[in-house]
């Protein structure tokens, strides 16, 4: 018998199957060819949603609607006050519908219901923060160019934005993009993952109820081919923002390059936590345990790679293994569950493959390393897994496993720790644990990452901008810099009075 904390099925699932449709130009519609696709719960196996499967025609119609809405100026040239008022109403409506949204988020992703509730209400806070930015948006002026010149720098909405979101945090990540694009005055076409389309469609209804003009936000349900590809390459789209795998991000950047449109990419991560010998090992162990199992490890910020000083490695791993046994895996609909299901059987196999390959290459399993059966549930679950003896050349140390799997490496010197942390194609986030502030600051300045946490992991706030370096992406989300992504800068040079000297000398 496994010495783990498991939560069996609570009982039958009570829900209505959601029937998703496209939102184009303010109207809900099915696909022209009548095509649909189904999503079954990865934890419970039940049918969760049946959605219209969009094609090129639906994507192009949505882009045309967004283009018309932008060019009309009903949203792009309205006041910051008016935009903020709509965004604030959306936030209120999200909170009103939070329980229903969270239920479908849990059923389609397999994540715990308690976590889904937190993400939905947290998304409402993102909408409120974006509303505040809408009213404080401003450019610059230059009055030192001479008595006869005044320079003004304007910040204007970039135009039509394609938003392509992933399956692991469908509602939250949309909240990191859409309200900021709207605060800037952009119009949008949104394509959620085909694995998790429902909560995005639900948000569309709330946008209409909040009074957003028709065509400002359009939603097309379907697959990356052809919908996502069309949204990336279409000449009437001014910008595409995507969250997902680095491989798909490269394809989107390539498609967008034909029209040189702006691209913002939030991609993969292989995020290191470096634990120095003087760290508080109890606090570090708890944070490491949270970092690797949160969202079943299906998280770009997953703390899946720890780099521990050799003198304390055994002590830290012992603590992490003991805590891992106490983390509640099981039925996502039980509020006590902390880790739910893996998103699909194919992804489960991919996770298991990384673990088996590492063991074959000489790594050792301290815990887990196999699929997990949960009583009463037919879905995909994976055991909490800790892999020691990992070397930097192993794929499990370098590639994104995207599962509840922790890789443990060791170091002796600060330079070695930094080198190991940076020895990766990714640069999304990193962490450092030490009681010495100088050690933390030195690491924070030398590590190649968009976010660095010191003596904590994955604390986030709407005010703090998020994004990666290297192959973790381009651009930034949330915070004031997240708004800047959706703006173009325009310079206006104004001559005061009739002071310009003639270029042509008249006779």
Distance (Å, whole) CA 370 – CA 385:
8
Strand order across the beta sheet in which 487-495 lies: 140-142, 149-157, 487-495
* 8 Å CB contact between 62 and 180: no
Phi, psi of 366 (to 5 degrees): -90, -20
3-state SS class at 489: strand
* 8 Å CB contact between 280 and 316: no
Distance (Å, whole) CA 364 – CA 372:
19
Q: What share of the chain is helix, strand, coil (3-state, %, to 5)?
A: 40, 25, 40
* 8 Å CB contact between 433 and 275: yes
498: Cβ contacts below 8 Å, ≥ 6 apart: none
Query: Which of 243, 238, 187 has the alpha carbon at shortest distance from 213?
Result: 187
CB atoms within 10 A of CB 502: 6
Check 58, 97, 119, 266 and give the catalytic one.
Answer: 266
Is 388 noted as a catalytic residue in this protein? Answer: no
Is 300 noted as a catalytic residue in this protein? Answer: yes
Q: Which helix (H) or strand (E) holds 70?
A: helix 56-72
* 8 Å CB contact between 46 and 107: yes
340 burial type by CB count under 10 A (0-12 exposed, 13-18 middle, 19+ buried): buried
What does the DSSP 8-state code read for residue 456? S
Check 186, 188, 299, 300 and give the catalytic one.
Answer: 300
Please state, in angstroms and as integers, the Cα–Cα distance from residue 443 to each residue in 1, 60, 433, following that order. 42, 47, 10
Query: Which of 257, 213, 205 has the alpha carbon at shortest distance from 76?
Result: 213
41 burial type by CB count under 10 A (0-12 exposed, 13-18 middle, 19+ buried): buried
Distance (Å, whole) CA 391 – CA 363:
8
Q: Which residues are catalytic?
A: 266, 300
């Amino acid at each position: 018998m496994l010495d783990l904390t498991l939560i069996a099925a609570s009982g039958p699932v009570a829900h209505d199957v959601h029937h998703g449709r496209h939102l184009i130009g303010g109207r809900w519609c099915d696909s022209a060819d009548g095509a649909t696709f189904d999503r079954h719960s990865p934890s419970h196996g039940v049918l969760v949603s049946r959605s219209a499967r969009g094609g090129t025609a639906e994507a192009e119609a949505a882009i045309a609607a967004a283009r018309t809405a932008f060019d009309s100026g009903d949203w792009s040239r309205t006041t910051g006050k008016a935009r903020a008022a709509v965004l604030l109403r959306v936030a209120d409506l999200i909170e009103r519908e939070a329980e229903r949204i969270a239920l479908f988020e849990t059923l389609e992703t397999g994540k715990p219901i308690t976590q889904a509730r937190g993400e939905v209400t947290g998304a409402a806070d993102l909408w409120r923060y974006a509303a505040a930015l809408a009213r404080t948006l401003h450019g610059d002026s230059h009055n030192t160019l001479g008595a006869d010149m005044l320079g003004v720098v304007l910040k204007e909405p970039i135009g039509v934005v394609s938003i392509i979101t992933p399956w692991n945090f469908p509602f939250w990540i949309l909240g990191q993009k859409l309200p900021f694009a709207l605060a800037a005055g952009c119009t949008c076409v949104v394509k959620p993952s085909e694995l998790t389309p429902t909560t995005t469609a639900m948000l569309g209804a709330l946008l209409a109820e909040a009074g957003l003009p028709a065509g400002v936000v359009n939603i097309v349900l379907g697959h990356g081919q052809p919908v996502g590809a069309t949204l990336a390459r279409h000449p009437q789209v001014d910008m595409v923002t995507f969250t997902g795998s680095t491989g798909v991000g490269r394809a989107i950047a390539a498609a967008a390059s034909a029209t040189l449109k702006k691209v913002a990419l939030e991609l993969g991560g292989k995020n290191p936590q470096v634990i120095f010998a003087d760290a508080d090992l109890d606090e570090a162990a708890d944070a490491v345990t949270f970092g690797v199992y949160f969202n079943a490890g299906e998280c770009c910020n997953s703390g899946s790679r720890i780099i521990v000083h050799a003198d304390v490695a055994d002590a830290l791993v012992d603590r992490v293994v003991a805590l891992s046994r106490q983390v509640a895996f099981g039925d996502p609909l039980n509020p006590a569950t902390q880790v739910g299901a893996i998103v699909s059987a194919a992804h489960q196999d991919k996770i298991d493959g990384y673990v088996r390959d590492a063991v074959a290459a000489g790594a050792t399993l301290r815990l887990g390393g196999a699929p997990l059966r949960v009583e009463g549930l037919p879905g995909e679950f994976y055991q909490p897994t800790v892999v020691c003896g990992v070397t930097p050349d192993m794929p499990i140390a370098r590639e994104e496993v995207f599962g509840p799997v922790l890789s443990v490496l060791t170091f002796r010197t600060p330079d070695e720790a930094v080198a190991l942390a940076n020895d990766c194609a990714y640069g999304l986030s990193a962490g450092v644990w030490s009681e010495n502030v100088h050690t933390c600051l030195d690491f924070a300045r030398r590590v190649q990452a968009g976010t660095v946490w010191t003596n904590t992991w994955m604390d986030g706030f709407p005010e703090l901008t998020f994004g990666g370096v290297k192959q973790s992406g381009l651009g930034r989300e949330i915070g004031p810099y997240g708004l800047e992504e959706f703006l173009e800068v325009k310079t206006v040079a104004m001559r005061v009075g009739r002071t310009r000297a003639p270029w042509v000398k008249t006779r």
